[in-house]
Amino acid sequence: MRSVLVVGGSDSGGGAGIQADVKTLHSLGVHASTVITAVTAQSSTAVSDVHDVPVESIRAQLAAVLDDLGADVVKTGMLSSPGAVLAVVEALDARPLVVDPVGVSSTGRSLLSPEALDVLRTELLPLATVVTPNLAEVAALTGVDVRDANDLEDAATAVHALGPQWVLVKGGHLPGDPTDLLYDGTTAHVLRGPRISTEHTHGTGCVLASALAGRMALGDDVPAAAAAAKALVTAAIRNGYPLGSGPGPVRP
């Protein structure tokens, strides 16, 4: 059994965060271990409360999993405090690492402090095998503003300069069919998919990054894993469902 350790926040609504990570990895036949960094009170319309887990507990969770179960790949999501970011940095070794630099929830709540963003930028991204920012996260990390698909490679180049091996810039919020760009500093791979008419898109970023990590754990190289993850998240959006009074979750 291949395994992925997911490090991130709990979504009490079950559509994103650790819950989406676990569902996605299980859909691929990959074991999911977890480290909870924050507990959110979250509905389909808002994040009403965030409680950061003490750094000592994050360190203990990391040690408990990595020292016994191990992990073929580590995937990070919500790391809301500088201490949470540094706890991950301290625990990592040579394992492949997928970083989803979660900055803002889909309902608009900031999930990453400016101090944590600085530590993530300088300490964690240089260790990443792949980083998967959306357009707002590209802007926060680099200052590059993506206005259309022609700007995706500039965005990927700017994020790549921060040290990760690969960058997957998610362009789903641009007009037209959703186009993502995977870049390793030399070669750009354009990943296209159909635009699906639905409001039920909660959890897409978490599902994409977890699917990428899961496919890497199963032996795919990064381009193949990214293509498979793109296909999985497209299917998950197509099969999203209404739940609550706001946008419902995708179905990995």
Active site residues: 170, 201, 203-206
SS3 labels along 43-90? CCCCEEEEEECCHHHHHHHHHHHHHHHCCCEEEECCCCCHHHHHHHHH
Say if CB 18 and CB 34 are below 8 A apart: yes
Give the span between the Cα atoms of 208 and 236, in whole angstroms. Answer: 10
Q: If we measure between CA atoms, which residue out of 13, 229, 180, 240 comes closest to residue 109?
A: 13
CA angle at 22 for the pair 54 and 108, rounded to the nearest 5°: 65
Reported as type and span, the H/E element at residue 247 is none
- Residue 137: count other Cβ atoms within 10 Å of its Cβ: 24
Give the span between the Cα atoms of 241 and 203, in whole angstroms. Answer: 12
Sheet holding 166-169: strands in order across?
47-52, 31-42, 3-11, 73-76, 97-99, 130-131, 166-169, 179-183, 188-192
Q: Which two tokens stand for residue 34?
A: 């977890």
Give the span between the Cα atoms of 65 and 59, in whole angstroms. Answer: 10
